[in-house]
Structure 1
Amino acid sequence: MSSENVSSNPLSDLGLPAPLVLGSGSFTRKLILKEMGIPFILKVRPIDERNIGDRSDGSNPSKLVMKLAKAKSEALISALLDPSITNGNPNKESNEEKYDMTLPPELKECIILTGDQVVTCQDSILEKPENLTQAKEFVAKYGTIPPSTVGSVVLTHLPSKISVSDVDISTIHFKSSLSEADNASDLIDRLLEKDEPILSCAGGLMVEHPFVIEYIDKIDGSQDGVMGLSKDLVMRLLNELKVEVDAWKSKSTD
């Protein structure tokens, strides 16, 4: 299925507007949407994620990622509907990537996708590593304690503002040899030599990379879910949204 052929993409197949508006700069989310044949345009309005939700040990990661995804959606929609709102990360002052917050004039109706993901391990929520030392500490745990990815997806339809959402959880079982500090450190160093964005991945995980695959026994869930966007979840939510939007349109014409 080609992402360039709008007539055969899942949105058009469902009678939903295309292209999708992706509210995430994540490389893997863009890659997965392309694999699904879903055309999209990028519109990102960063938020202050660190001040949202509970990350303490034993807290609920599903609630956290859902709260973050909905906050991203609300911030993005506000900017799309009000041109006076400027795009900018509250934690950064310069040299950040800027996005035009205006929608193409022909896109009178659209679907916005936002999401968030954390890695959990031994009742702790692991987000993007703060440095390489922390990344190596994270990865060293994975050989004895299987980490899980908890990822949320929120789809919002404009102009109705109808929203559907859910969470996908996958667990990765690594070979015990990864728990050896030298192996974890070596793995991170090998990835860095290839300029892989370790510090941009929740928990320092890059399960799709051949170097990491060497250490994986199995995944309970899906690789795309671990990468940050479950294809099955996206399709299920698109079908749910279709039902709700059709009902809204039917009431609007009565």
Structure 2
Amino acid sequence: MDARRSVARGTRLLRFSLTHTHTHKHSIILGSSSMARREILAEMGYDFTIMTADIDEKSIRKEKPEDLVMALAEAKADAIMMRLKSSGQLEEISHPTLLITADTVVVYQGIIREKPANEEEARQFIRDYSGGSAKVVGSVLVTNLVTGSRKGGMGECRGTLLMLCQCHTVYFLDIPDEVVDSLIEEGIVFNVAGGLMLEHPLTLPLVDTVVGTADCVMGLSKSLTEKLIQEAL
């Protein structure tokens, strides 16, 4: 299936894979509507299905960005598990099945930025990055749907819940007004934290330096996700 044409709706599970996908003895569900996360996990060689959490992210508030992305990743996992349980699918799972959820926020001058609420906010976000920098904080949570364990590398929270958050900084060159206009008109910036799209063809040439790794900034650390998958099994 062409990764760029995959779409998830409601509780429907969609298959997402690459030609060179490796054979694994476990199944993976990616609980995310992010195309970047789908592409990253596919690049890692995994065959997986997709479910979206469809939670009200604005209803979950934390002062610290690290706490917020953790709480949101957990809420997404809980929502998907509840949906699987209510449909009877959770009880039918007998082989190792892992649910991967994640969340990312941008921190600009100490202020947490999530997805832009409107055009004005998106435009302000992007203009603020011009000639400046922004920090990206992200979390990854892997839940074993058979054993119920959740794994990461930060410490314990709610018994078996373990997660690791990472912080990276992106430095930008000057962003021309016409680029801002094009990004707003295209509309994709409304679906990403802080309106920050590292991988976009219009913004990538304007990235000066990334302190960290691109996959983390895009929403899913490859090394961390691989580590958590092995630990969850």
Instruction: Place the TM-score, normalised by the shorter chain, in its bin.
Output: 0.7 to 0.9
| Deviation of the 1:160 alpha carbon | 0.6
Please tell me whether the aligned partners of residues 119 and 184 of structure 2 are also in contact (alpha carbons under 8 angstroms): no
Whichever residue aligns with residue 186 of structure 1, its letter is: E
Quickly say closer, same or farther: Cα 1:28–1:155, change in 2 above 3 A. same
Match of 2:129 in 1: 142
Please tell me whether the aligned partners of residues 45 and 72 of structure 1 are also in contact (alpha carbons under 8 angstroms): yes
Please tell me whether the aligned partners of residues 127 and 180 of structure 2 are also in contact (alpha carbons under 8 angstroms): no
| Deviation of the 1:196 alpha carbon | 4.9
- Structure 1: stretches of 5+ with no match in the other structure: 85-101, 243-254
Are residues 1:82 and 2:86 paired? yes
| Deviation of the 1:135 alpha carbon | 1.1
Please tell me whether the aligned partners of residues 122 and 184 of structure 2 are also in contact (alpha carbons under 8 angstroms): no
Match of 2:36 in 1: 28
Q: Distance in 2 between matches of 1:162 and 1:109?
A: 12
Equivalent in 170, 173, 181 of residue 172 of structure 1: 170
Count residues in correspondence: 206
Match of 1:163 in 2: 150
SS in 1 for 2:203: helix
| Deviation of the 1:121 alpha carbon | 0.6
Quickly say closer, same or farther: Cα 1:150–1:50, change in 2 above 3 A. same
Match of 2:18 in 1: 3
Q: Distance in 2 between matches of 1:166 and 1:27?
A: 22
Cα distance per residue 1:218-245 (max 9 Å; x no partner): 1011111111111111112123223xxx
Match of 2:6 in 1: none
If you compute each CA radius of gyration, which structure gives the higher value, 1 or 2? 1
Q: Distance in 1 between matches of 2:146 and 2:120?
A: 46
**RMSD over equivalenced CA pairs, Å:** 2.2
Equivalent in 176, 181, 184 of residue 189 of structure 1: 181
Quickly say closer, same or farther: Cα 1:42–1:216, change in 2 above 3 A. same
| Deviation of the 1:134 alpha carbon | 1.1
- Structure 2: stretches of 5+ with no match in the other structure: 1-16, 152-162
Matches of residues 223-238 of structure 1 in structure 2 within 5 Å?
Answer: 223-238=214-229
Are residues 1:215 and 2:224 paired? no
Q: Distance in 1 between matches of 2:182 and 2:30?
A: 31
Q: Distance in 2 between matches of 1:219 and 1:107?
A: 42
Q: Distance in 1 between matches of 2:66 and 2:210?
A: 19
Please tell me whether the aligned partners of residues 3 and 36 of structure 1 are also in contact (alpha carbons under 8 angstroms): no
SS in 2 for 1:151: strand
Please tell me whether the aligned partners of residues 53 and 68 of structure 1 are also in contact (alpha carbons under 8 angstroms): no
Q: Percent identity?
A: 34
SS in 1 for 2:49: strand
More strand by share: 2
Q: Distance in 2 between matches of 1:106 and 1:156?
A: 13
Could you state the TM-score of these two structures normalised by the residue count of structure 1?
0.74
Could you state the TM-score of these two structures normalised by the residue count of structure 2?
0.80
| Deviation of the 1:3 alpha carbon | 3.4
Match of 2:67 in 1: 63
